[in-house]
Chain A
Amino acid sequence: MSLNFERDERRGREKMKTKLDNEYYRRLHELQAIDFTLVELQLYLDTHPQDMQALQQFNHFAQVRKKVAQEFEAMYGPLQNFGNSYSGFPWQWNDTPWPWQV
């Protein structure tokens, strides 16, 4: 499935399309998979705080996550609000797609 979401034409640059192609879905799934690992490790560590191996896995994936999320944001815009992600000009937060639109 591939959809084109047209970005707001008020942008100062040439009209541009965020292409929701296979590459978009591949990168999104990659991030979702890493984040799933981190959610699982987080909940596990909440009740097993002494498990050193799980802790090492957690810190490793937290690092991987940072890199993958940065690459995703460079291509498709900010993932998080309130200054946890950078924005290009003009303000990108309002850009589609929102999560339920993909």
Chain B
Amino acid sequence: MWIYEKKLQYPVRVSKCDPRMAKFLIEQYGGADGELAAALRYLNQRYSIPDKVIGLLTDIGTEEFAHLEMIATMVYKLTKDATPEQLKEAGLGDHYVNHDRALFYHNASGVPWTAAYIQAKGDPIADLYEDIAAEEKARATYQWLIDMTDDVDLQDSLKFLREREIVHSLRFREAVEIIKQDQQTKKIFAVGTPK
């Protein structure tokens, strides 16, 4: 069960209509290392991960949906006042003929989102290492996005999201240590202890 809250996790302001930047930001909406991929990856891994880290995957997966809404808000605000001509100039002509100004789950180059971007291996270490890598890739993407705009309001929201990736990565690294310790403990008890 999920509960929706009618507010953004962090304010999103933009200081100008900028469809070109919106096109770049879509990478974090429906791209391989984007927020949709992150949310679906973590929430799906929960069912086969040890109990000790299910809470963390649930919470980070849920937070990713809040980030997805922030990205959507950025794209919406950057494009809502753009004319079809401006969208075309920004490289969004292909998008416009298929979706008008509607959002869609594809990356900055227009490649639709696919489940092939994410993995669930059933092995907790493999899954958590993938999660750490996903956070680091998303952090890097946010940095490149910040570099692509001079809009300080937009940069502020993007910096918030970049910092969240760092915190998530840290928490996943701690989860790896928890799993390793757990596996170690089980091995020790297993020696000469019939179950």
A36-47 contact mask (Cβ, 8 Å, vs B): 1 or 0: 100110111011
B194 lies within 8 A of chain A by Cβ: no
List the B side residues contacting A80 at CB < 8 Å: 3-6
Residue of chain B at shortest CB distance from A98: B6
Query: Is A28 interfacial (CB 8 A cutoff)?
Result: yes
Q: How far is the CB of A55 from chain B (nearest CB, A)?
A: 14
CB contacts (< 8 Å) of B5 on chain A: these are 79-80
Is B96 on the interface with A (CB-CB < 8 A)? Answer: no
Query: A46 near B56 (CB under 8 angstroms)?
Result: yes
Verify B9–A81 contact, CB threshold 8 A: no
Residues of A within 8 A of B171 (CB): 43-44, 46-47
Q: Judging by beta carbons under 8 Å apart, are B10 and A99 in contact?
A: no
Chain B residues with a Cβ under 8 A of chain A: 3-13, 53, 55-56, 59-60, 63, 69, 72-73, 76-77, 167-168, 171, 174-175, 178
- For the A-B complex with A32-B7, A77-B6, A98-B6 known, give 15 more contacts whose Cβ atoms are closer than 8 Å: A28-B7, A32-B9, A39-B59, A39-B63, A43-B168, A46-B55, A46-B56, A46-B59, A46-B171, A47-B56, A48-B174, A80-B5, A80-B6, A82-B3, A99-B69
